[in-house]
Amino acid sequence: MAHVVYVHGLWMPGDESLMLRRRLAADFGLTLHPFRYLATATMSTITARLEGFVRELDLPAVHFVGHSLGGLVIHRFLEQYPGQPPGNAVFLGTPCVGSLAAERAARFGPVAHLMGRSVAEELLRHRARHWAQPRALGIIAGTQSIGMGQLLADFAEANDGTIAVSETRMPGATDHIELPVSHLGMLMSVRVARETGLFLTQGHFSLR
């Protein structure tokens, strides 16, 4: 049985991956291991903890799935700790170049405090990230505009209610697809689970 490390998004506990976890296990024989962190920590602290988490799993191969900010955690982790066990990666609604919704939300003091240092480091200014890892990366973006981010950002383009489709693109990624799901709803979606499982096990999404 193959193994997957799941890294959750901002203000998520990791348990929101339950339906995805069950579908990946039932349909693809994948065991999902949720990694939990606090966004109030620095990104370097989070990635160091993730390195210890993966090391303790002691697996010959490991895939990664990151939802939202979790994708950026995985990206930084693989940059800082190369030589990880082989596998593929899937980002779900990850703001690869920054987040307009997060930037707007940060203008409100109480919300900015809750975002934490990792968000400030990664999301509050535009970043030109590039995927240069020796593992395939598939990115799934949502196009169902349901979420508070829609009110904050006032998107003028396709979005999942929190993140714009254009914000999810990363040069160097193997593939990128858009599905009619919202930012949180993608974790409950049968289609997202299927595409995630296909990419992790075969290195590509299905024909669209």
Number of domains the chain contains = 1
* Whether the Cβ atoms of residue 204 and residue 175 lie closer than 8 Å to each other: yes
61-66 mean pLDDT: 98
* Residue 20 lies inside a defined structural domain of this protein: yes
Predicted pLDDT at 97: 86
* pLDDT at residue 145 is higher than 90: no
Which residue in 17, 23, 13 sits closest to 201, CA to CA? 23
pLDDT tier for residue 151 given thresholds of 50, 70 and 90: low
In the chain, pLDDT over 90 holds for what percent of residues?
A: 68
Kindly report the CATH number assigned to the domain that includes residue 119. 3.40.50.1820
Residues 169, 96: contact at Cβ < 8 Å? yes
Separation of alpha carbons 142 and 206, rounded Å: 16
Residue 120: inside a domain, yes or no? yes
C-alpha distances in angstroms, 180 versus 19, 31, 77, 97?
18, 26, 29, 21
Asked if the structure places residue 208 within a domain, the reply is no
**Domain-located, residue 14:** yes
Note whether residue 7 is domain-resident.
yes
Has residue 134 been placed in a domain? yes
| Per-residue model confidence (pLDDT) at position 12 | 82
153 pLDDT exceeds 60? Answer: no
pLDDT at 40: 82
Q: What is the mean pLDDT of residues 39-46?
A: 88
**For range 65-92, the mean pLDDT:** 96
For residues 98 and 37, is the Cβ–Cβ distance under 8 A?
no
Is residue 207 in some structural domain?
Answer: no
Q: What is the pLDDT of residues 170-182, one digit of tens each?
A: 999 999 999 999 9
pLDDT of residue 113: 59
- Give the pLDDT score at 1: 76
> Range of 90's domain?
2-202
In a domain, 17, yes or no: yes
